[in-house]
Amino acid sequence: MAPKKRKSAPQKSSMSGYIKGAGEVVSQAIVDTLEGNYMPYAMSVIMSRAIPEIDGFKPSHRKLLYTMYKMGLLTGARQKSSKIAGSTMALNPHGDAAIYDTMVRMTVAYEALLHPYVDSKGSFGKAYSRDTQAAASRYTEAKLAAIAAELFRDIDNDAVDMVDNFDNTMKEPSLLPVTFPAILCNSNTGIAVGMASSICSFNLNELIETTIQLLKNPKHNISSTLLAPDFPGGGQIIYNKDELEKVYHTGRGSIRVRSRYSYDREANCIDITQIPPTTTCEQIIEKVIDLVKAGKIKEISDIRDEQGLHGLRITIDLKRSTDPDKLMQKLFKLTTLEDSFSCNFNVLIDGSPRVLGVDGLLDEWIKFRMNCVHRRTAFTLGKKKEKLHLLEGLQKILLDIDKAIRIIRETEEEADVVPNLMKGFGIDEIQAEYVAEIKLRHINREYILKRTEDIENLRNEIADLEDILQSPQRIKKIIIGELKDVAKKYGQPRRSMILYSVEEASDDEISSVPDYPVNIFITKEGYIKKISPQSLRMSSDQKLKEGDSILQTFETRNVAELLFFTDKCQVYKAKAADFSDTKASVLGEFVPAVLGMDEDEHFKRCILTTDYSGYVLFAYENGKVAKAELNAYATKTNRRKLLAAYSDKSPLVSLLHIESDCDILLRTSNGKALIFNSEAVPAKTRSAQGNQIITLRKNAKLSEMLLYAEGMVKNESKFRPKNLPAAGSADDSQQGEQMTLM
């Protein structure tokens, strides 16, 4: 139900009265509001602001460049940027600040375009630096770059339409008659209302060669000549044929761009000199610092922004024994040192936004350029026909110059001179007007003969121009010739390297830290030490808490993972890299505190692995042994705590990590022992109760499980039962030890 209209009482003013209707609230359908207010705004942004047209320019670019052209800045000296911005306001009334920002992005100094259109002098900032801003317009100077001549070559020959500016006081071009596909030569991005445009740049030589081949053969495979985009900041393009084909034919897709770097062995640092066009130095540095603070990257000792007159450079100082290539693989994955340029080739074609692939854009540009050449040729033809027409009239007067002079002298009124010449020589009004305007000094045979010598050449030229207008193939040949001239003058080698095969860092490599050898010591009281071999050689005397002793030792690497099995049937996972490098002379880190174990929870054993291969054997007091595959504890996410790590039906006596099935020795509290092969126990789930291996008498319990080695018991054969479960045999080797302990 529509809301009722509500009127507020009009407030009388002390002045002449009140405004009629002021304060009245009127209901209005949302559709009407959108159509009347929002849609005109949206269309204005799309058509006149954010989306480029087939010549490669948005209106703001075109107005600025045309103003500079009319100011004579194509060949003249540089002028103050403030003067250029002020003059452009005659076409673009959006304020000098917006105009200056537009000019900055097109300058050589800013380095945002592969082929900049503005030759600049002064500080204009850098596209790759967020904090390096352009100086005020009063301090900088600019003129048009040499390549800008290709934008205006035919503009005075009716190649494009000239339209009124915003206040109808002067004319401006609706499009620029560019002689090369500028729409794909320089990158262009814009965000409109409900749509956006993002066009990457391509190498001028490759682009022109592709255009020439399409002019010769519309079915040409553009991938064979247009290898990949080429960005002004260089970098390395990771070649993906399917994604490039998608961009070439649909205008949508993404291009992965990777930074370029070099390693200075003497200084032990990495110098990054080229980055993707979608990021900045500051963004990269901030992300790397965050990764170092979070402990995800530990190979870096310092990072600095060293950009200056030499250009972009980010320097990363490395710690000793760091592999620079492996570090960069991780940084590519974790930072914008490798980033994607999202393509959305949205272009205004005849006033309508259309998303076209590279092939579609080049087809539209060829049509546009053929129309420009056709119009230019027609304009030139008209001028030559006018000249021929005048010279043909002059040629007729050559037959009797004295007669022409006599007609003019004998004509009493000036207005009758032209009609009398028309009658006297059989010429039209235009020719007669031309003859009448000839200076007296030029009414001689020599002058007229010289002027009429070109009549035959003009006729041949006119015939040739008429043939061009009737022949699309000849127009294409003209365009091909112009394209070759542009490539010869302004072509450059590729800046972006193409990587056809790349090395990718795996998730494990990314989440890890430097891979180097370490020694790990775990004590009964729950302390852990991670010591490098070099430090251990310098001092091997372990400092321990009073009453503490070493429970386990490992010689491994910093990439290993540790699984701590606790007395509450839980397992806590950690990486060796999670613990700090230390020395033998310190107590180490308290594992329950580091891993956040529950109150009164203690770990019983630690298993170390790098690939989760092998099995875990669990021995319980009731004589049962369970076997689980170690990869049952591997998780795709970085979960630190796993519940139900093993069965809770009987207290856990011991656990072992074995790579493959082997002999195991069990001992009981009443002096029995048994040897069996772990193959007898099938691998089951983590919380399985296991198989009965040894039978126990009343009040007896399993007390120990060990990896069996030859010589651990006397008369080994009697401890190997034929069938399981078995009672085991008396272990004489334990009796002596028990007597000693007593």
Of the candidates 552, 633, 490, the residue with the CA atom closest to the CA atom of residue 203: 490
The SS3 call for residue 62 is helix
Please name the amino acid found at residue 217.
N
The maximal CA–CA distance of the chain, rounded, in angstroms, is 157
Question: Is 117 one of the annotated active-site residues of the chain?
Answer: no
Nearest-5° Cα angle at 89, 85 to 92: 110
| CB distance 120 to 108 below 8 Å | yes
- Residue 615: CB partners within 8 Å, gap ≥ 6? 627, 628, 629, 630, 657, 658, 661, 678, 683
- Tell the burial category of 728 from Cβ atoms under 10 Å away from its Cβ (0-12, 13-18, 19+): buried
- Residue 559: CB partners within 8 Å, gap ≥ 6? 508, 512, 513, 515, 575, 576, 577, 610
Structure tokens at 538: 């310098």
| CB distance 385 to 290 below 8 Å | no
| CB distance 313 to 307 below 8 Å | yes
Alpha helices in 550-679 (DSSP H): 591-595
Q: Which of 100, 139, 500, 612 is catalytic?
A: 139
- Tell the burial category of 740 from Cβ atoms under 10 Å away from its Cβ (0-12, 13-18, 19+): exposed
Of the candidates 170, 180, 65, the residue with the CA atom closest to the CA atom of residue 114: 180
The CA distance from 82 to 286, in Å, is 35
The CA distance from 25 to 443, in Å, is 82
The CA distance from 742 to 455, in Å, is 133
Of the candidates 67, 120, 128, 122, the residue with the CA atom closest to the CA atom of residue 96: 67
**Which residue is it, tokens 């990771």?**
238
The CA distance from 686 to 570, in Å, is 11
Task: Give the number of other CB atoms < 10 A from CB of residue 278.
Answer: 17
Does an H or E element contain 258, and which? Answer: strand 252-258
Q: Which H, E and C letters describe 338-386, residue by residue?
A: EEEEEEECEEEECCEEEECCHHHHHHHHHHHHHHHHHHHHHHHHHHHHH
The SS3 call for residue 514 is coil
| CB distance 337 to 273 below 8 Å | no
Radius of gyration of the chain (CA): 43
Nearest-5° Cα angle at 212, 206 to 214: 105
Active site residues: 139
